[in-house]
Amino acid sequence: MVRLRDMRQRGFMSLLAKQLVLVLITLALALALGSIQTLSVCFSCCRSFSGGRVTARSAYRQSRDLQFGGQEGYGGIVAPPAPRTMTGKTAAERKKSDSTLTAMIVETETARDLPRTLANHMRSTSLNSIHLAAAFRKMANMPKPFDITVLRSPTLVDLVEHTERVCERREFDSRHTADLLSSVTKLSAELPGIAARLGPVLAKLVPELADAMSTEELTKTIWSLGMIGSQEHEVTIDKAVAAASQSSFNKLSNFSMTDLKYTARGLSARAAVDEASVALLDRLAKNIAESTREMKAKDAMYYLPDIAVSYVKLGIWHTDLMDNVARRLAGTVRKMLKPKPTFHMKWSLAALAWCWKQPISPYVQSTENFNPEVLDLGNVQSVIENFGSLAHMAAKRRGVTQKDIESAVEGPRRIG
């Protein structure tokens, strides 16, 4: 009996020693992982004295489950349930639902289906900034015109009102603000009421977000605000344009030629330009003038006439810009006098002819006695002085009418 009691005492002491070692290991793990929650494993160890067994490996697994929020731990510990939202969904379920709705919006094929898709989810899901930006972007890129069921859809009214509330809560970031401005501008022909309501409320966000905007976002913003316009909210839009112009001025070196084109087009769409916009236009013109020689012929013919129209439309004859446009395009325009030109860009010819025929042009002259064959492209001054006549003659040779030239100021379109 004594021998048996001694053996039991030694076994108990051995078990006690093991459990103490395990407690020390667990405490070390808690300190190493930096989580106070890990200390709960210690209590599991203490409870093991009453018959349960916890190994060092299982203690480690339990501590990792608590550290990283596992739902079902390797050691059998169930982490606290994820917090639920007011709608009864967990954060993970809500995130999955949001992603699903965004995907459904993107995959919608017709304008008639989009309001139906949104209506089905608006009853159970609160649309966030991502949903709203995706919905308007999808609608803006859909084929037009829309049929009457889309134009009179009550879901669109709900969508606009919901967007206004999200704007008031300042939940749109710079990307979604620029996307929404671009989308409502593209929809203004079909749904002018949407642009009239959302344009000004989105413009209020721009001064706060302009510095955080990328070059693409700034371009979209300036172009959209210029195209939307609003006499009733002119002060709000002017402040937004000024803020975007100031931010663009600081980032102009990163602008692509497409960014420069649409920025100039947006600024020219406003009858009056502020001080920041004037400074931006001057800097923009100088940047373009410096890059004209490096442009490929087709790119130059695509971008430069568009940019030139924007400046002349504002009543600005930027000598450095216009002279470099003439020098870069003279050879290309003269080739278009041939029966089979390399490529057809009739609107570009119409735009150039319109610019050089405006009263602010210092080179307005008759084309009756002009002979393009004797034009010396190596004589810079001669090219600059005669470029208007060359452009007008090439436009006429390619079938561009006087009406086409006069309407060139309205923007690019297909001629012929």
pLDDT for the residue 14: 65
Report residue 407 as tokens.
């309407």
Tell me if 45 sits within 8 A of 26, measured CB to CB: yes
C-alpha–C-alpha distance, residues 65 and 207, integer Å = 45
DSSP-derived 3-state class of residue 70: coil
Report H helices in 174-268: 174-186, 192-203, 206-209, 215-228, 234-251, 257-268
What is the predicted pLDDT for the residue at 122?
Answer: 75
Percentage of the chain exceeding pLDDT 90: 56
Give the tokens for residue 65: 């489950």
Asked if residue 261 has pLDDT above 90, the reply is: yes
326: amino acid identity, one letter:
A
| Dihedral sign computed on CA atoms, order 107, 109, 115, 121 | negative
Helices (H), 34-107: 40-47, 56-67, 91-107
What global pTM score does this model have? 0.74
pLDDT of res. 326:
96
Q: Are 359 and 328 in contact (CB under 8 A)?
A: no
> What is the Cα–Cα distance from 74 to 119, expressed in whole angstroms?
43
d(CA 129, CA 184): 15
Q: Vertex 216, ends 310 and 265: CA angle to 5°?
A: 10
- Angle of helix 275-291 relative to helix 234-251, nearest 10 degrees, comes to 40
List the chain domain ranges: 10-67, 295-416
Model pLDDT, residue 205: 98
Angle of the 297-313 helix axis to the 257-268 helix axis, nearest 10: 20
Mean pLDDT of 132-160: 93
pLDDT at 67 over 50: no
Query: Residue 4 above 60 pLDDT?
Result: no
Does pLDDT of 397 surpass 70? yes
How would you label 142-172 residue by residue, b for 16+ Cβ within 10 Å and e otherwise?
Answer: beeebeeebeebebbeebbebbeebbeeeeb
Burial 36-58 (b: 16+ CB within 10 A, else e): eebeebbebbeebeeeeebeeeb
Residue 293 DSSP code: G
pLDDT on residue 98? 63
pLDDT on residue 101: 86
Sorting pLDDT into bands at 50, 70 and 90, what band is 262?
very high
- Of 347, 253, 346, the residue nearest 309 (C-alpha): 347
Contact 388, 361 (CB under 8 A): yes
Number of other CB atoms surrounding residue 200 within 10 Å: 20
Q: For residue 412, what pLDDT is reported?
A: 86
What is the average pLDDT across 268-278? 84
Question: How far apart are alpha carbons 416 and 404 in whole angstroms?
Answer: 10
Decide which of 122 and 49 is more confident: 122
Of the two residues 53 and 173, the one the predictor is more confident about is: 173
CA distance 391 to 386: 9
- pLDDT averaged over the chain? 80
Share of the chain above pLDDT 70, in %: 73
- The lowest-confidence range among 33-37, 119-123, 182-186 is 33-37
pLDDT for 57 equals: 43
79-110 residue pLDDT tens? 333 333 444 455 544 554 567 888 999 999 89
Least confident of 47-51, 148-152, 174-178: 47-51
Q: How confident is the model at residue 170 (pLDDT cuts 50, 70, 90)?
A: very high
